């Protein structure tokens, strides 16, 4: 076997690390050292490969073999069989649930086939700590191009023509943001990277910072050169320890190699970057609160009637973009606006990274062209719902977004289509829900989240969310009234109209959309005192349908409180007094004989 150009890439993203991928990486290195091979293959620890569900991931190049769910026990076999003898280890291959077969290369998997990677292009392929890896994949070429061949106007023209819109949530055109800031002759100007990803279930910015920090740095320097700024800040939430570490190493290495600091690669342009640790407040993802936090003040938003491109950080013109937006800048400069515009759909060019989580088979990080259909994301890439249960809804955009029911499964995933139906793109978090999700409880959950994470500055957001949470809690306890639904909508209107910042204005979205698309569930909770998903425990009871039960006894076996009794092959009975409503019988029954009832125990016995 020729090992001179062989590479073994071990995913060391957060998800895989949690499953001991670093141990796999070190053991692989040790094992290879002990093995007599003339030319040692290169072993690299990379960033996230996206399919976190099936981690740790080990890829062998150029053979293009991908192993999933690799543990330290598999290391010997990988070296002895695959590296030394070119044999493929069948049990470590990826099983594609859509194609119903095992695959040698991950690239053939339905999960990866539909994807197109721009901002994630290097992740999983490079060692994030080595600037050489980035340079090998055309890193800092775009920077060289702008520094020596382009003027500020030319750079801004390209970004504007590419149609890139801010990937942080609102989708504001990046080029026009840069142009406005460029026009102000007020110096110093600042560049800020928003790395305060806070939506529950979202981790795309984290993966980029961990897996390809140089692309963010390059994007920021390009913008700095375009608008004549010499200082940038990376605001990274404190919980993202690995992201901060990798980012700092990348900054230090970039300085050493002359890509940051004074006289960047001999161009006379100076630019410096500094990491600011965020305290982990959700509201600090809002641009003006984030800037207040960098300045050392309480992270409260301000009214943005004067935009931060005019008066931002320390009241100076500031460009703030999120991590994913920055990661798109170098490829756009290198490949041109036309190339970027050719991807995606009109007014929504390029790709978008989604973090696909919830009740979906393939959870992970996905980058698809804008305009991809939701159905494709959930059923092709995501592989459908776990245990093939019925799809109920997806939630996009985190607490500011909304729920999308199955009627809208064919919606195009882009900024405009999503906001048209009351949801929003947000940072790209997609939570998939099946029939065991209660939509009232979901709305309540988000209100609870926001009651802790709202900054509390303005009356409508702080007090409005508090009372909405109270009303929703009552409904989930079976103490709601029909008027409460109208009241919730009335309060939502006030909060979205009168709140100070974007977070407050969008805070009622989960409530508004669940009422819009799942009003029946609200009514069920209030009038019928029943939670069909079996989530609101006060409104749930389980019973066994006598005609369907085959008496297999699985439910009784799974019941943690021994509440189910019955003779083999005869219908079983649930004792409501002992039942703790955990739902184990419901999810485990092979014939669907276990039914969910309301507050009153429905039983024929």
Partner 1 sequence: MKVKINGKLYNGNTGETLMELAKRNNIYIPNLCHKKGFEGQGRCRLCIVEINDGGKTKIVSSCVYPIKDGIEVSTNSDKIIKIRKNIILLLLLRTPNNDTIKSLAKEYNVDIHYKYLDNKKKENCILCGLCVEACDKLGTKAISLVNRGTTKKVSTPYDDASKDCIGCAACVEVCPTDAISIDDKNGKRTIWNRTFNLVSCSICGKYFTTYEALKYTDDKLNIEKENQICNSCKRKEISKKFKESFKNTY
- Token output for 7: 């590479």
Check whether the bond before 559 is cis (ω within 30° of 0): no
Looking at beta carbons only, is 396 or 496 nearer to partner 1? 496
Give the Cα separation of 326 and 168 in Å (integer).
10
Shortest separation between residue 10's beta carbon and partner 1, angstroms? 40
3-state secondary structure at position 589: coil
**Residues from 462 through 491 that contact partner 1 (CB under 8 A):** 462-467, 470-471, 490-491
Q: Considering only residues 499, 509, 513, 532, which one is a binding residue for partner 1 as defined by CB under 8 A?
A: 499
Contacts with partner 1 by CB under 8 A: the residue count is 36
Shortest separation between residue 482's beta carbon and partner 1, angstroms? 13
Give the Cα separation of 406 and 192 in Å (integer).
38
The residue assigned the tokens 């799809």 is 391
- The binding track of 53-72 with respect to partner 1, each residue x by CB under 8 A or -, is --------------------
Looking at beta carbons only, is 254 or 455 nearer to partner 1? 455
Looking at beta carbons only, is 4 or 305 nearer to partner 1? 305
Among the listed ranges 55-63, 330-338, 493-501, 566-574, the one in contact with partner 1 (CB under 8 A) is 493-501
Does 263 bind partner 1 (CB under 8 A)? Our answer is no
Looking at beta carbons only, is 5 or 494 nearer to partner 1? 494
3-state secondary structure at position 67: strand
Q: Which residues pair with 395 in a beta bridge?
A: 403, 431
Does 308 bind partner 1 (CB under 8 A)? Our answer is no
Does 563 bind partner 1 (CB under 8 A)? Our answer is no
Q: Considering only residues 8, 202, 243, 283, which one is a binding residue for partner 1 as defined by CB under 8 A?
A: 283
Does 281 bind partner 1 (CB under 8 A)? Our answer is yes
Looking at beta carbons only, is 353 or 485 nearer to partner 1? 485
Does 214 bind partner 1 (CB under 8 A)? Our answer is no
Does 498 bind partner 1 (CB under 8 A)? Our answer is yes
Give the Cα separation of 150 and 169 in Å (integer).
30
264 in Cβ contact with 147 (< 8 Å):
yes
Give the Cα separation of 216 and 248 in Å (integer).
12
3-state secondary structure at position 191: strand
Looking at beta carbons only, is 23 or 310 nearer to partner 1? 310
Among the listed ranges 139-147, 329-337, 497-505, 526-534, the one in contact with partner 1 (CB under 8 A) is 497-505
What phi, psi does 191 have (nearest 5°)?
-120, 130
**Who's near 178: CB < 8 A, 6+ residues apart?**
155, 156, 159, 160, 223, 226, 227, 319
**Who's near 80: CB < 8 A, 6+ residues apart?**
35
CA-to-CA separations, 61 to 77, 83, 412, in angstroms, rounded = 17, 10, 35
**Residues from 322 through 351 that contact partner 1 (CB under 8 A):** none
Q: Considering only residues 494, 562, 565, 575, which one is a binding residue for partner 1 as defined by CB under 8 A?
A: 494
Give the Cα separation of 419 and 554 in Å (integer).
45
- Token output for 262: 């004074």
Check whether the bond before 56 is cis (ω within 30° of 0): yes
- Token output for 374: 């939701």
500 in Cβ contact with 456 (< 8 Å):
no
Shortest separation between residue 497's beta carbon and partner 1, angstroms? 5
Looking at beta carbons only, is 298 or 527 nearer to partner 1? 298
Shortest separation between residue 500's beta carbon and partner 1, angstroms? 5
Task: Using CB atoms within 10 Å of the CB of residue 202, give its burial: 0 to 12 exposed, 13 to 18 middle, 19+ buried.
Answer: buried
Looking at beta carbons only, is 118 or 503 nearer to partner 1? 503
Among 23, 79, 27, 91, CA closest to 54: 91
Shortest separation between residue 517's beta carbon and partner 1, angstroms? 24
Shortest separation between residue 492's beta carbon and partner 1, angstroms? 10
Shortest separation between residue 461's beta carbon and partner 1, angstroms? 9
**Residues from 429 through 468 that contact partner 1 (CB under 8 A):** 450-460, 462-467
Looking at beta carbons only, is 217 or 488 nearer to partner 1? 488
Q: Which residues pair with 67 in a beta bridge?
A: 58
Does 262 bind partner 1 (CB under 8 A)? Our answer is no
The residue assigned the tokens 């590419």 is 162
**Residues from 287 through 306 that contact partner 1 (CB under 8 A):** 298-300, 302-303, 305-306
Among 77, 114, 80, 107, CA closest to 92: 77
Q: What percent helix, strand, coil does the chain show, rounded to 5?
A: 45, 15, 40
Looking at beta carbons only, is 158 or 289 nearer to partner 1? 289
Shortest separation between residue 266's beta carbon and partner 1, angstroms? 44
Shortest separation between residue 452's beta carbon and partner 1, angstroms? 5
- Token output for 547: 């005609």
Looking at beta carbons only, is 321 or 492 nearer to partner 1? 492
Looking at beta carbons only, is 497 or 605 nearer to partner 1? 497
The binding site for partner 1 (CB under 8 A) comprises 281, 283, 298-300, 302-303, 305-306, 450-460, 462-467, 470-471, 490-491, 493-494, 497-500
């Amino acid at each position: 076997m020729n090992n001179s150009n062989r590479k073994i890439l071990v995913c060391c993203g957060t998800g895989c690390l949690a499953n001991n991928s670093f141990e796999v990486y070190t053991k692989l290195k040790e094992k290879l050292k002990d093995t007599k091979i003339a030319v040692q293959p290169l072993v690299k620890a990379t960033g996230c490969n996206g399919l976190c569900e099936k981690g740790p991931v080990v890829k062998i190049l150029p053979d293009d073999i991908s192993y999933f769910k690799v543990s330290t026990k598999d290391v010997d076999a990988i070296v002895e069989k695959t590296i030394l003898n070119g044999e493929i280890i069948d049990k470590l291959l990826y099983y594609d649930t859509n194609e119903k077969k095992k695959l040698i290369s991950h690239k053939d998997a339905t999960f990866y086939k539909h994807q197109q990677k721009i901002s994630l292009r290097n992740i999983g392929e490079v060692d994030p700590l080595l600037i050489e890896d980035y340079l090998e994949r055309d890193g800092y070429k775009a920077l060289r191009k702008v520094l020596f061949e382009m003027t500020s106007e030319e750079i801004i023209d390209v970004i504007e023509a590419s149609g890139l819109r801010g990937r942080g949530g609102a989708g504001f055109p990046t080029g026009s943001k840069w142009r406005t800031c460029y026009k102000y002759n007020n110096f110093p100007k600042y560049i800020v990277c928003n790395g305060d990803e806070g939506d529950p279930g979202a981790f795309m910015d984290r993966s980029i910072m961990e897996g390809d920090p140089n692309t963010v740095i390059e994007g920021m320097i390009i913008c700095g050169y375009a608008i004549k700024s010499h200082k940038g800040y990376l605001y990274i939430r404190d919980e993202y320890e690995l992201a901060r570490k990798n980012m700092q190493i990348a900054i230090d290495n970039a300085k050493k190699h002359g890509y940051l600091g004074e006289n960047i690669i001999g161009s006379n342009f100076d630019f410096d970057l500094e990491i600011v640790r965020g305290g982990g407040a959700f509201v600090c993802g809002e641009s003006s609160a984030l800037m207040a936090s960098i300045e050392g003040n309480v992270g409260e938003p301000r009214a943005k009637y004067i935009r931060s491109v005019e008066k931002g950080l320390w009241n100076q013109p500031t460009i703030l973009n999120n991590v994913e937006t920055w990661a798109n800048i170098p490829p756009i400069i290198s490949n041109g606006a036309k190339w970027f515009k050719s991807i995606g759909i009109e007014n929504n060019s390029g790709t978008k990274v989604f973090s696909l989580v919830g009740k979906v088979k393939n959870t992970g990080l996905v980058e698809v062209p804008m305009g991809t259909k939701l159905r494709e994301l959930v059923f092709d890439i995501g592989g459908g719902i776990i245990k093939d249960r019925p799809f109920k809804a997806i939630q996009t955009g985190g607490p500011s977004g909304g729920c999308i029911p199955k009627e809208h499964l064919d919606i195009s995933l882009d900024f405009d289509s999503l906001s048209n139906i009351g949801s929003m793109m947000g940072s790209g978090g997609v939570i998939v829900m099946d029939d065991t999700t209660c939509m009232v409880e979901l709305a309540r959950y988000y209100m609870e989240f926001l009651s802790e994470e709202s900054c509390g500055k303005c009356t409508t957001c702080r007090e409005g969310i508090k009372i909405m949470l109270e009303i929703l809690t009552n409904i989930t306890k079976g103490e709601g009234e029909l008027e409460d639904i109208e009241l919730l909508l009335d309060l939502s209107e006030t909060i979205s109209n009168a709140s100070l910042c974007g977070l407050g204005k969008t805070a009622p979205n989960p409530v508004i959309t669940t009422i819009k698309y799942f009003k029946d569930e609200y009514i069920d909770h209030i009038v019928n005192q029943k939670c069909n998903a079996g989530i609101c425990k006060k409104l749930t009871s389980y019973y066994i349908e006598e005609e369907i039960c085959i008496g297999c006894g699985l439910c009784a076996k799974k019941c943690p409180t021994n509440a189910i009794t019955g003779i083999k092959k005869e219908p079983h009975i649930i004792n409501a007094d002992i039942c703790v409503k955990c739902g184990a019988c419901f999810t485990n029954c092979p014939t669907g004989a276990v039914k969910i009832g309301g507050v009153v125990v429905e039983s024929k016995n």
